Structure 1
Amino acid sequence: MIKMKFFLLAPLAILTLFSSSCERKEQSSMHKRSSNEVSIRLEAEPDRLNPLLSTISYARQVFDPLHVYLMSYDPTTLVLVPQLLKETPKIELIKSGVFEGGTKYSFEIREEAVWDDGKPVTAADYEATLKLVFNPFLPTLGYRTFLENIQSFDIDKMNPKKFTIILNDTYFAGLEALTNVVPVLPKHIFDADKSLDTVSLLKLISDPSPENQLKNYPFIKDFADYYLGEFFSRNPEGVNGAGPYKLASWQSGQEILLEKKQSWWGDKLATDNSAFQAFPDKLLFKIIPDPVSALAALKNEEIDVMQNIAPEDFLALKLDSTTKAHFSFYTPSSLSSYYISLNTRLPILSDKKVRRAFAHAIDVDELIENVFIGFGTRCATPLHPSSAEYNTDLKPITFSIEKAKKLLAEAGWSDTDKDGILDKKLGDKKTALRVKYLANASKESSMTLAQLIKSNARKAGIDVVIDAKDANTLLDKLRSREFEMISAGRSITPQWSPSQNWRTDADNRSGFGNEKTDEWIDAMEREPNQSKRWKISKKLQAEIYDEQPEIMLFCPQERLVIHKRFEAVSTAAWPGFHPVAFKLVKD
């Protein structure tokens, strides 16, 4: 099964992007390992294995096999298919009554679906999961933006697996929001004393004020503190869901082991539905931040899967006869993008001319050709260039030190003390154009990019100070907005729903936006007509492009290696592979 990180992109028709360059498999009985255990390299350790609370993308690789969603994306076609649900929900527009203008979704959970203790998965589990999402004392704002249009949640009195949800409008991504944003979690585990039974989901949604909700439900903050504890993030009993795998062990800094459940309820459905395929007996995630150590482990066949390999290393591996005998190589088009986020809330970066000057001072073409060996496509907006929704009128910003200098001069920056660094009076203080750039210390490509930016920016009179941090620290800084300039990446999903990243009251890291752009986002997400929605989308893309809160770099081509012990295919969805569907090759 695949859970899309619910952030960006457009029509499913363009998502057959895979341009896999898999080497022909050579039969070999000389592999060092023969067990039905897939060993996967993780670049960083997860913060926690809780799908509602984790903020690190690497954690998603680990916790996804523990859970199931109402619907999931087929890893090959990238089409949304029923998983927990018996069938795709019936969708009806409401033409009269209290909810006139809204949309009604009718759901039924599969009869076979049960938790590990045999208790049935019911609509009450999903409702309670949503109560977690809307608990104002939990850090789940990023999910709330997709689900805040819920106006009604009704469970069938005769069948606890049937329920209906009404959204207050015609949210274009309503089906995906309701079925694929969060998995269904076991209410009888996280709410054993049934305290959430007294909480109204609709009251939580309609009034997100922590103060008011504390008055309504005095225990709600204590409940949030309880749920934030280690039990629901690291303990097997607290993190396991209705998915095919369970957490067996977690050795901090070393590895995380998932084991296939015996007699998992979904096994009997796997023949007819790829969402239930779960072939490996174990999934072993080895935490190896250092790429040199990871490559050594790969060559020694200690790991079976490694993605995001440095381009030069990927090409070298393909030329190595020993490695080719044991591994297959894939380069699927990746639904992700690299960008540099600028904190527009800071006075020194509040002027869009300064931000565009930074964009002109970055030689992205050199980066793609010399650092990524051509494994990338330039982009100008948050969408993938292959999307029909992508605004083709917007061209990637060209490298030009002269244009950077001109923009900075127009913004009032000059070198008054002749030290080579521009300065300007901000408020009552003379300020040098000096910006701290946070880069990933463990990734050579990130550090190379940082040095390229520093070198070229200095030619324009900008002093870039490189601050190298580990991946987890970078994510923490980005999430808490404690940065000036930071390199980052983002997954791109089938439909661009910009509210999470670009609304001013959401998980907006750069500080972009205003009342006008919020109105555009709301209008776009409520517009059922595709052409009209794309028209608004392209206007929003143009505004982001004009403001440059993020300097869009490129969409990478994945560099992925998978051991020939397994039958596997690559996918355009991050991280480029689907380990639960790996089949052990039998001699």
Structure 2
Amino acid sequence: MRKASLLLPILLLFLCFCSQPQQELNEVKVRFPLEPETISPVNYADAESLQIINLLFQSLLVVDLEEDKLKPALVTAMPEMVRQDSLTLFTYEIRDEAAWSDGSPVTADDIAFTLKVLKAPLVNNERVKPQVEFIRDIRLDKTNPRKFTFVCDGYAPEMELLTGDFFILPSYLFDPQGLLKSIQVAELSDDLSELENNENLKAFAQEFNAINFKSGKAFLQGSGGYLLDAYLPNQHIVLKRKQNWWGNNLDQAHLTAHPDVISFHVIPDNTTALLALKNKQLDVLDNISAAEFDHLKSDKNFKNDFTLHTPDAYECTYAGINSRLPKFSDKRTRQAIAHLLDVSGMIKASQQNYATPTASIIPPSINEYYNTNLKPRSYNLSEAKALLNAAGWKQEQDGWYKTINGKRTKLTIDVIYRAGNSNFENAALIFQQTASKAGIPVTVQAMEANLLSQKSKAHEFDMFFRSLSGNPFVFNFQGLLSTSAGELGGPNYTGFGNEQSDKLLDAINTADTPEKKAQRLKQLQTMLHDDAAFIPLYYQKERIAINKRFDNAKISGLSPNYDVSAFTLKN
């Protein structure tokens, strides 16, 4: 009976998946391990959301995954840059062909409108807002409605990317009443207290924040090559190609919309997803377990139909400790916990040869910025106990105790992680075993993505395992590690940071040479390592299978590691 009860959820999921409509000839079916939190182009949080938004909306610049290079998307060329004292000007011109879903042209007014949405108070834009804070103003060209200039504070090498790396919104669709028209971008770069009482802004924020981006087809119409066709919660999301997309007429290999249909199927269970792949009910599957991937590599029948890829990913698995809690407030306690994280055991259990231990939030493969003076903490039971003693904990027969704020407190740890992710599950269970050897009781709990996000944002956790995706172009950690991001609802879940680290984060973003940036990034890595609240564990190689009926996958180390819009059917 036990085996039957374990298999029942898998069987139900598989039957549900099999009930989907038959695959169209030029349809690509992709597996999602979980449902996107949102499809908001100004407040997305996870990789699944970003992959969909990238197909619906566009930014000024885009990374060509085939070459891992930054290229023009909505604009004709990379920006012209001019430095003027404490300001830097970036001038762009939008392509003549660029158009919205209704056929109207993308103009500089849309760029200005998007900046207002991203910078405005009261609007749900917390995740993207820090990315554009350095843009103080926009100057529109009076003679050319497609030309504009960003006025930016200071200078940093990655500003070229950041000025072009946010999704552009159609003002006609999101602000038909012109509520933001009278507000200038420059007004949103200074004290915002007065604007919070602006009636037009309040009205716009109320309307924008009320949009349900998962069901609001009317608002998911950008300049990209696809439109949302269907969204069935926790089951599938279907996108259909625009018949007359403006990019079809361009000879630009990095601007594509080839498949007629792209469907994303939510299959939390890895075993079910792999079975669907083998049965050719999926065309693309990533995050395949290392053991299964090795098995597939030796399966001749499978390799007749699928190609396997292992790009070096920019995805870091890390542990987060809630340093706000009194029992974890002493960094020596957190350092002790870090020495109980058996990273080599975690890699062996879930990654085998497909991961690299790291001591830093920077990938070890980026030699110029990775701090080689830091070594990944290894599992060390005696060192962990010594640090606990130094932090004031005393080991008794049934555990570790310390008087905190006049109350005798036992050291226990509750670990949470996203349900359905075997990497996090293995890490949590291995930590539970190693911590028990130190006399620390650990409970582990898998949670659905939405609940995990709620707990993290509300600071209602002891410790978690999560992953962080990055890229080799920009190292702006303010939105993740600043103290302002540590407020309730912000993404700095662990509570890392102080005035000194905030200044360092600012200094990293204003470094005007790669050498200065490298020096400051290495200082930040040292600070993070010593603080031991945000603990990087390893960077992994991605493991992907793609149906051989498709060409032009553009495999890359950058998430999502392939460009599904570029897939072409083989003859």
Q: Which residue of 48, 61, 70 corresponds with 2:60?
A: 70
Q: Does 2:81 align with 1:103? A: no
Q: What is the rounded CA distance, in whole Å, between the counterparts of 1:289 and 1:172 in structure 2?
A: 39
Stretch moving more, 300-309 or 526-535: 526-535
Once the two structures are superposed, residues 550-569 of structure 1 have per-residue CA deviations (whole angstroms, 9 ceiling, x without a partner) of 12110011110000110124
Contact 2:343 2:379 in 1 (8 A): yes
Contact 2:323 2:496 in 1 (8 A): yes
**Larger relative CO (CA 8 A, sep 6+): 1 or 2?**
1
Q: Does 2:431 align with 1:464? A: no
Q: What is the rounded CA distance, in whole Å, between the counterparts of 1:540 and 1:464 in structure 2?
A: 30
Distance 1:572 1:128, change over 3 A: same
Unmatched runs of 5 consecutive residues or more in structure 1:
1-31, 95-99
Q: Which residue of 401, 423, 426 corresponds with 2:381?
A: 401
Q: Does 2:234 align with 1:235? A: no
Q: What is the rounded CA distance, in whole Å, between the counterparts of 2:214 and 2:275 in structure 1?
A: 31
Once the two structures are superposed, residues 417-456 of structure 1 have per-residue CA deviations (whole angstroms, 9 ceiling, x without a partner) of x21x101011011111011100233223322221110111
2:392 corresponds in structure 1 to 412
Once the two structures are superposed, residues 267-296 of structure 1 have per-residue CA deviations (whole angstroms, 9 ceiling, x without a partner) of 111x3x233122111101111111121112
1:268-283 pair list within 5 angstroms: 268-269=249-250, 271=251, 273-283=252-262
Distance 1:349 1:208, change over 3 A: farther
Stretch moving more, 152-161 or 132-141: 132-141
Contact 1:56 1:475 in 2 (8 A): no
1:112 corresponds in structure 2 to 97
1:218 corresponds in structure 2 to 199
Q: What is the rounded CA distance, in whole Å, between the counterparts of 1:464 and 1:225 in structure 2?
A: 43
Distance 1:225 1:57, change over 3 A: farther
1:173-192 pair list within 5 angstroms: 173-180=158-165, 182-192=166-176
Contact 1:44 1:472 in 2 (8 A): no
Question: What's the offset of the Cα at 1:223?
Answer: 1.8
Q: Does 2:42 align with 1:52? A: yes
Stretch moving more, 470-479 or 533-542: 470-479
Q: Amino acid of the residue matched to residue 78 of structure 2?
A: T
- The residue matched to 1:113 in structure 2 has which SS? coil
Q: What is the rounded CA distance, in whole Å, between the counterparts of 1:224 and 1:445 in structure 2?
A: 39
Q: What is the rounded CA distance, in whole Å, between the counterparts of 2:307 and 2:451 in structure 1?
A: 33
Once the two structures are superposed, residues 348-376 of structure 1 have per-residue CA deviations (whole angstroms, 9 ceiling, x without a partner) of 11111111111111111111123222210
Q: What is the rounded CA distance, in whole Å, between the counterparts of 1:165 and 1:509 in structure 2?
A: 32
Q: What is the rounded CA distance, in whole Å, between the counterparts of 1:38 and 1:76 in structure 2?
A: 19
Once the two structures are superposed, residues 120-163 of structure 1 have per-residue CA deviations (whole angstroms, 9 ceiling, x without a partner) of 10111111111111222123223222211223211111211111
Q: What is the rounded CA distance, in whole Å, between the counterparts of 1:566 and 1:141 in structure 2?
A: 38
Q: Amino acid of the residue matched to residue 503 of structure 2?
A: E
- The residue matched to 2:98 in structure 1 has which SS? coil
Q: What is the rounded CA distance, in whole Å, between the counterparts of 2:421 and 2:128 in structure 1?
A: 30
Q: Does 2:485 align with 1:500? A: no
Question: What's the offset of the Cα at 1:221?
Answer: 2.9
Contact 1:433 1:461 in 2 (8 A): no
2:453 corresponds in structure 1 to 475
- The residue matched to 1:142 in structure 2 has which SS? coil
| TM-score computed with the length of structure 2 as normaliser | 0.92
Stretch moving more, 402-411 or 48-57: 48-57
Q: Which residue of 303, 327, 334 corresponds with 2:306?
A: 327
1:205 corresponds in structure 2 to 189
Q: Which residue of 103, 117, 128 corresponds with 2:113?
A: 128
1:487 corresponds in structure 2 to 465
Question: What's the offset of the Cα at 1:34?
Answer: 7.0
1:431 corresponds in structure 2 to 409
Q: Does 2:70 align with 1:80? A: yes
| TM-score computed with the length of structure 1 as normaliser | 0.90
Question: What's the offset of the Cα at 1:266?
Answer: 0.7
Q: Which residue of 310, 317, 320 corresponds with 2:296?
A: 317
Q: What is the rounded CA distance, in whole Å, between the counterparts of 1:137 and 1:322 in structure 2?
A: 56
Contact 2:337 2:384 in 1 (8 A): yes
Q: Which residue of 29, 33, 38 corresponds with 1:39?
A: 29
Distance 1:480 1:179, change over 3 A: farther
1:165 corresponds in structure 2 to 150
Q: Which runs of 4+ in 1 moved over 6 A?
A: none
CA RMSD of superposed structures (Å): 1.6
Q: What is the rounded CA distance, in whole Å, between the counterparts of 1:132 and 1:315 in structure 2?
A: 47
Q: Which residue of 510, 515, 520 corresponds with 2:504?
A: 520
Q: Which residue of 350, 354, 360 corresponds with 2:333?
A: 354
Unmatched runs of 5 consecutive residues or more in structure 2:
1-21, 486-490
Q: What is the rounded CA distance, in whole Å, between the counterparts of 1:349 and 1:308 in structure 2?
A: 32
* Count of matched residue positions in the alignment of Structure 1 and Structure 2: 542
Q: Amino acid of the residue matched to residue 416 of structure 2?
A: L
Query: Percent same amino acid among aligned pairs?
Result: 32
Question: What's the offset of the Cα at 1:233?
Answer: 4.3
Q: Does 2:371 align with 1:371? A: no
Once the two structures are superposed, residues 502-552 of structure 1 have per-residue CA deviations (whole angstroms, 9 ceiling, x without a partner) of 211133221111111111111121111111221111111111111111121
Once the two structures are superposed, residues 393-412 of structure 1 have per-residue CA deviations (whole angstroms, 9 ceiling, x without a partner) of 00100111111001001101
